[in-house]
Amino acid sequence: MKCIVLPEKFDYDGSQISSLWAYNSFGVQEDSIVVFRGACDVKIEHMIDLEDRRANESIWSEDMVSFIIEHFDSVDLKLVYARQRLFTAIVREYLAGIGVETTRQGDDLFLKGKKLTVSIASASAVSQKIHFGINVSHDVYGNMKEAGIGEDKQVVGFMQAIGEAYVCEFEDIEKDLRKSRPLGVV
């Protein structure tokens, strides 16, 4: 699995959730997590969540860290939602480690009762995709600045640490797969 942290600002509009985006944009043909910071404004045609789409909800932020995850081993929706929850737990664990207490409801994190993150998972004929966004600043919702993570250097460190933690989790899973004998085999 490969982690790419983009050094420049890059806005999220929802099109990045499409299959093979990392390959089309960066030549990455393996499982990947691409991390970037920029504004977020998801257009209705890119909205995956049908509840949000039917309610004509907007998904926006003036400054968000986005994680785009793609796995090619399965197109199972239940598995991608489990991976999305694992990713959310990794973010929550990291924040707790630096003294930021959040609460989790499914794939969402809350800070002081305000929604801190957005996330969606889906699958196509070739891969599973996850978008996880966390507000750096936002006038309505929770944000990293309220958590004391507002300086550019802190945000870059957060982006790198979370991307690497996810990659390490999957490298560890791969190692475990290769040491476990099947049931019924002596």
Q: What is the pLDDT of residue 55?
A: 66
Q: How many domains does the chain have?
A: 1
**Ordered per-residue pLDDT tens for the chain, 186 residues:** 999 999 999 999 999 999 999 999 999 999 999 999 999 998 767 667 767 666 667 688 999 999 999 999 999 999 999 999 999 999 999 999 999 999 999 999 999 999 999 999 999 999 999 999 999 988 878 789 988 888 999 999 999 999 999 999 999 999 999 998 888 877
Q: Is the dihedral of CA 136, 140, 146, 147 positive or negative?
A: negative
Q: Which domain holds residue 36?
A: 2-169
The reply to whether the predicted model has a pTM over 0.85 is: yes
Q: What is the pLDDT of residue 139?
A: 81
Q: By three-state DSSP, how is residue 65 classified?
A: strand
CATH assignment at residue 48 = 3.30.930.10
Q: Is residue 148 part of a domain?
A: yes
Query: Do the beta carbons of residue 90 and residue 108 sit within 8 Å?
Result: no
**Buried/exposed code over 120-139 (b: 16+ C-beta within 10 A; e: otherwise):** bbbbeeebbbbbbbbbbebe
